[in-house]
């Protein structure tokens, strides 16, 4: 990730805590299925969702209570440890993926967690019980991350903010189809642009299986960010057909995480297409700036420097991530473009 988000703990994350509390209790509780297995704030929601929650929780309890103590613990810890998202990102724990058609108790488990996200998290019972909607989490999250307006995953797409009428979708960092246990864990829910959340980019790609074993943790307070350098690999008279070299750098040597990020979100192919489709416009913007008659009183070198300072400020504010390094690479690496600029300076 280019930048990490600040995490905000809201009432919405309580739903996940209620569910984990149930699994912690049934590790040792074998005195029958009863209301006391649920947190008091969660019980009214469970009772309102008899079919998708209470009946499934009972099926799970009946299965777990029939197991030996060691197997009960293993069963419950499978759910609990699958929600240690930061630990998973560091490569210290690998949760079991639901691959293929589920059978037995896994069917109930998967359906329970998928419906917790699809029907319960923003459903009427939870809204009424918690006096909130999922949009409220979106608004609070955006406000605490007010300085992030470009998608922190790709640095290309614009994000919706709390002032917008519509909102971005939550992307399950570990896809809920494969890792359903973290479907309502907000450490696993990441706001991103539509393309990053599309089937063409990430989709239901197994984030862990295709990675190097290490992933960026979306809420890493110590993440120092990624920087980009762009070089001309093969020059071309047609600026839109230049072959580019993309170099990603990070201060804390998280090279494994960078490789995972590039693979999961198809970063390099997306960047190549993005640059080729826009580099001509960026170049025209640059050339128009340095040739602007209103700046005629400035030396050409001062105009060029002023332009780059403006791009640097743009980048520092998170308004653009790719245009500055691309133009730097173009102006320093394309002999054809340099010759064109030098010729035009004397026209």
Going by pLDDT thresholds of 50, 70 and 90, the confidence category of residue 344 is low
| Domain end marker among 145, 165, 191 | 191
256 burial type by CB count under 10 A (0-12 exposed, 13-18 middle, 19+ buried): middle
Least confident range of 147-156, 225-234, 328-337: 328-337
The residue from 191, 212, 247 where one domain ends is 191
* Same domain assignment for residues 183 and 112: yes
Residue 275 lies in a domain: yes
pLDDT in tens, 27-50: 999 899 999 999 999 999 999 999
Pairing between β-strand 227-234 and β-strand 189-191 as defined by DSSP bridges:
unpaired
Q: Are residues 138 and 240 in the same domain?
A: no
Query: Does residue 182 sit within a domain?
Result: yes
Distance CA 7, CA 291 (A): 45
- Residue 342 has what pLDDT? 63
- The mean per-residue pLDDT over the stretch 128-133 comes to 93
Please indicate, yes or no, whether residues 29 and 108 belong to a single structural domain of this protein. yes
CB atoms within 10 A of CB 96: 12
Q: What angle do CA 35, 36, 42 make, to 5 degrees?
A: 70
Read off the pLDDT of each residue in 123-149 and give the average, rounded to a whole number.
Answer: 95
Identify whether residues 175 and 246 lie together within a single domain: no
- Please answer whether residues 156 and 321 qualify as being in contact, where contact means their C-beta atoms are separated by less than 8 angstroms: yes
The contacts of residue 76 (CB under 8 Å, 6+ apart) are 23, 24, 26, 27, 64
Mean per-residue pLDDT, 283-308: 90
Residue 213: left (phi > 0), alpha (psi -120 to 50), or beta? left
Same-domain status, 262 and 117 = no
Instruction: Note the pLDDT of residue 201.
Output: 83
What pLDDT is recorded for position 246? 97
Q: Which region, left, alpha or beta, applies to residue 266 given φ > 0 means left and ψ of -120 to 50 means alpha?
A: left
How many structural domains does the chain have? 2
45 and 184 together in one domain: yes
Residue that wins the pLDDT comparison between 237 and 244: 244
3-state secondary structure at position 229: strand
**C-alpha distance across the termini of the chain, in Å:** 45
What are residue 243's DSSP bridge partners?
234
Residue located via tokens 């001309």? 232
Domain residues for 58? 11-191
Q: Please, how many CA atoms are within 13 Å of residue 199, restricted to the half-sphere of its CB?
A: 0
Task: Identify whether residues 18 and 156 lie together within a single domain.
Answer: yes
CA pair distance 284, 235, nearest whole angstrom: 18
d(CA 6, CA 92): 22
185 and 51 in a common domain: yes
In a domain, 222, yes or no: no
Section 178-193 average pLDDT: 96
Domain assignment of residue 52, yes or no: yes
97/165 same-domain check: yes
Residue 94 in this model has a pLDDT that exceeds 80: yes
More confident residue, 277 or 318: 277
The pLDDT mean for the chain works out to: 93
Bridge partners, 234 (sequence order): 243
Quote the pLDDT of residue 345: 55
Nearby residues of 343 by Cβ (< 8 Å), 6 or more positions away: none
Position 205 confidence tier, pLDDT thresholds 50, 70, 90: confident
Read off the pLDDT of each residue in 191-198 and give the average, rounded to a whole number: 92
Of 249, 197, 253, 205, the residue nearest 227 (C-alpha): 249
Same domain, 324 and 248: yes
Residue 341 has a pLDDT of 65
Question: Model confidence at 343, in pLDDT bands (50, 70, 90)?
Answer: low
Alpha-helix residue ranges (DSSP H) falling in the chain = 14-26, 43-48, 55-65, 69-81, 85-89, 105-115, 124-130, 134-144, 255-264, 267-290, 300-316, 323-333, 335-345
Residue 3: inside a domain, yes or no? no
- Which of 168, 191, 214 represents a domain boundary (last residue)? 191
Is 267's pLDDT higher than 70? Answer: yes
pLDDT band at 79 (very low <50, low <70, confident <90, very high): very high
Instruction: For residue 84, give every residue at least 6 positions away whose Cβ sits within 8 Å of its Cβ, in sequence order, or none.
Output: 93
Question: Is the pLDDT at 197 greater than 60, yes or no?
Answer: yes
Q: Is residue 304 part of a domain?
A: yes
Residue 202 counted as domain residue? no
**Encoding tokens for residue 84?**
């240690």
Tokens for 288, please give them: 């128009």
**For residues 324-331, average pLDDT:** 93
For residue 179, being part of any structural domain is answered with yes
- Shared-domain flag, residues 40 and 138: yes
| Pair (300, 159) in one structural domain | no
């Amino acid at each position: 990730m280019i930048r990490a988000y600040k995490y905000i703990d809201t009432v919405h994350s309580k739903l996940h805590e209620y569910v984990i509390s149930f699994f912690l209790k049934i590790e040792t509780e074998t005195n029958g299925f009863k209301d006391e297995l649920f947190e008091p704030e969660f019980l009214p929601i469970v009772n309102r969702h008899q079919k998708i929650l209470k009946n499934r929780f009972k099926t799970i309890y009946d299965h777990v209570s029939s197991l030996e103590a060691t197997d009960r613990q293993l069963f419950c810890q499978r759910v609990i440890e699958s929600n240690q998202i930061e630990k998973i990102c560091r490569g210290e724990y690998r949760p079991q993926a639901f691959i293929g058609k589920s059978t037995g108790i896994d069917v109930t488990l998967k359906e329970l967690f998928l419906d917790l996200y699809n029907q319960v998290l923003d459903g009427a019972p939870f809204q009424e019980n918690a006096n909130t909607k999922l949009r409220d989490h979106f608004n609070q999250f955006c406000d605490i991350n007010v300085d992030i307006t470009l998608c922190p995953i790709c640095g290309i797409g614009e994000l919706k903010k709390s002032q917008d009428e519509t909102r971005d979708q939550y992307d399950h960092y570990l896809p809920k189809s494969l890792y359903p246990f973290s479907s309502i864990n907000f450490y696993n829910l990441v706001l991103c642009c539509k393309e990053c959340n599309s089937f063409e980019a990430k989709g239901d790609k197994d984030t862990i299986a295709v990675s190097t074993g290490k992933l960026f943790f979306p809420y890493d307070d110590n993440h120092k960010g990624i920087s980009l350098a762009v070089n001309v690999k093969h020059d071309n008279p047609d600026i839109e057909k230049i072959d580019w070299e993309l170099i990603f750098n990070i201060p804390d040597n998280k090279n494994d995480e960078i490789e995972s990020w590039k693979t999961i979100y198809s970063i390099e192919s997306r960047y190549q297409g993005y640059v080729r489709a826009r580099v001509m416009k960026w170049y025209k913007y640059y050339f128009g700036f340095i040739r602007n008659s209103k700046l005629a009183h400035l030396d050409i070198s001062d105009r060029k420097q002023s332009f780059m300072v403006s791009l640097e400020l743009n980048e520092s504010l998170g308004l653009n991530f790719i245009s500055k390094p691309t133009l730097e690479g173009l102006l320093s690496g394309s002999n054809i473009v340099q010759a064109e600029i030098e010729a035009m300076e004397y026209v």
